[in-house]
């Protein structure tokens, strides 16, 4: 966590523009929102699988960076649209395009798996689904993600480092998720947040919310069912709650205790 506020601000502004100009309420996400040539004719080019998966992941990142629930809501809408438009209900996995109005060889739909040069669409989609499952406890997200990994399980080792994103998705499948919710606005809350973000884990998320925001209507479904109830004994102190695979530990108010407890949780998952 580098605490580069300029980078955070620019990233959020960039995402906000994509959501404002590329996303449509009917579930369409555009591939292009602007051209370098200001005189170029504007054409609506439909988004590909990668566009949906990457934008959903960016929205979840933005939610975790800001605790602004609108980003989570956008992520869920985009993930649902991704499933509706690209998921192969017969054989599993995701196609790269909707195959609407394509000509010639472009009518051939494929299921992208190789990370070259960017993370593969199917593996990225699976990660987005696992992350969405962690916030909603909606089984269908997990089932589609698991099914997607199964489609490529027999060939992934042939791709070597070009299946790295698949390996990350497999961590989500095998180890589940860990979430740390820090509640408070004072120096102790900042210390708790620093302790929570310090250890690296691809399947860990950290949220920092104010006391007023730690209410069911301001949290994703899975956290709304547990976190507010655990805060009843908060006694006015800034605190942190570790949740792992929908099971939450008692609130912790000491940063060192949080670091030790989080280490134990992460090590137990990796064992």
pLDDT digits (tens, 9 = 90+) for 150-160: 999 999 989 99
pLDDT in the model for residue 204: 97
The candidate with the shortest Cα–Cα distance to 152, out of 182, 122, 197, 179, is 122
pLDDT in the model for residue 245: 95
Does the pLDDT of residue 105 top 60, yes or no? no
Order of strands across the sheet that contains 239-244: 204-209, 178-183, 239-244, 247-248
Average pLDDT, the chain: 92
CB atoms within 10 A of CB 35: 11
Does the pLDDT of residue 101 top 60, yes or no? no
- Cα–Cα distance between 262 and 186 in angstroms, integer? 21
Instruction: Please check whether residue 124 is in contact with residue 96, taking contact to mean a CB–CB distance below 8 angstroms.
Output: no
pLDDT in the model for residue 37: 82
Distances (CA, A) of 6 to 10, 12, 13, 207: 6, 10, 11, 20
- Cα–Cα distance between 133 and 206 in angstroms, integer? 16
pLDDT in the model for residue 38: 77
Backbone region of residue 102 per phi and psi (left: phi > 0; alpha: psi in -120 to 50; beta: other values): beta
**Poorest-pLDDT segment among 19-33, 97-111, 192-206:** 97-111
Does the pLDDT of residue 168 top 90, yes or no? yes
pLDDT in the model for residue 107: 65
pLDDT in the model for residue 40: 76
Class of residue 77 by CB neighbours under 10 A (exposed 0-12, middle 13-18, buried 19+): middle
Report which secondary-structure segment, H or E, holds 241. strand 239-244
Does the pLDDT of residue 195 top 60, yes or no? yes
109/27: higher pLDDT: 27
Instruction: Please check whether residue 37 is in contact with residue 62, taking contact to mean a CB–CB distance below 8 angstroms.
Output: no
Six token digits for residue 133: 């499952």
Q: For residue 27, what are the contacts with CB-CB under 8 A and spacing of at least 6?
A: 77, 80, 81, 84, 85
- Cα–Cα distance between 80 and 87 in angstroms, integer? 10
pLDDT band at 103 (very low <50, low <70, confident <90, very high): low
The candidate with the shortest Cα–Cα distance to 85, out of 115, 51, 57, is 51
pTM over 0.95: no
What average pLDDT does range 71-90 have in this prediction?
97
Does the pLDDT of residue 184 top 70, yes or no? yes
pLDDT band at 44 (very low <50, low <70, confident <90, very high): confident
Domains of the chain from N-terminus onward: 5-175 (1.50.10.20), 178-270 (3.40.30)
Class of residue 8 by CB neighbours under 10 A (exposed 0-12, middle 13-18, buried 19+): middle
Taking each continuous run of H as one helix and of E as one strand, the counts in the chain are 10, 4
- Cα–Cα distance between 133 and 154 in angstroms, integer? 25
What percentage of the chain has pLDDT greater than the value 70? 96
Grouping H, G, I as helix, E, B as strand and the rest as coil, residue 182 is strand
Does the pLDDT of residue 102 top 60, yes or no? no
Grouping H, G, I as helix, E, B as strand and the rest as coil, residue 215 is coil
Class of residue 186 by CB neighbours under 10 A (exposed 0-12, middle 13-18, buried 19+): exposed
pLDDT band at 39 (very low <50, low <70, confident <90, very high): confident
Does the pLDDT of residue 106 top 60, yes or no? no
What average pLDDT does range 208-216 have in this prediction?
91
């Amino acid at each position: 966590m580098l605490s580069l506020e300029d980078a955070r601000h620019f990233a959020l502004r960039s995402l906000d523009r994509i959501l404002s100009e590329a996303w449509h309420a009917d579930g369409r996400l555009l591939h292009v929102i602007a051209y370098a040539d200001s005189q170029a004719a504007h054409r609506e080019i439909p988004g590909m699988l990668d566009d949906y998966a990457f934008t959903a992941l960016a929205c979840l990142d933005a939610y975790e960076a800001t605790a602004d629930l609108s980003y989570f809501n956008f992520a869920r809408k985009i993930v649902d649209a991704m499933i509706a438009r690209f998921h192969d209900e017969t054989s599993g996995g995701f196609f790269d395009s909707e195959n609407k109005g394509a000509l010639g060889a472009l009518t051939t739909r494929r299921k992208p798996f190789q990370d070259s040069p960017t993370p593969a669409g199917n593996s990225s989609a699976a990660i987005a689904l696992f992350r969405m499952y962690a916030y909603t406890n909606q089984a269908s997200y997990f089932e589609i993600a698991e099914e997607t990994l199964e489609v490529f399980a027999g060939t992934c080792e042939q791709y070597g480092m070009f299946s790295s994103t698949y390996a990350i998705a497999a961590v989500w499948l095998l180890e589940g998720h860990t979430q740390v919710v820090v509640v408070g606005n004072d120096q102790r809350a900042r210390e708790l947040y620093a302790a929570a973000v310090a250890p690296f884990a691809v399947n860990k998320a950290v949220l920092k919310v104010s006391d007023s925001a730690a209410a069911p209507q301001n949290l994703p479904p899975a956290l709304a069912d547990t976190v507010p109830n655990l805060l009843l004994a908060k006694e006015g102190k800034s605190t942190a709650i570790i949740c792992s695979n929908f099971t939450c530990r008692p609130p912790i108010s000491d940063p060192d205790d949080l670091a030790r407890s989080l280490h134990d949780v992460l090590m137990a998952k990796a064992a």
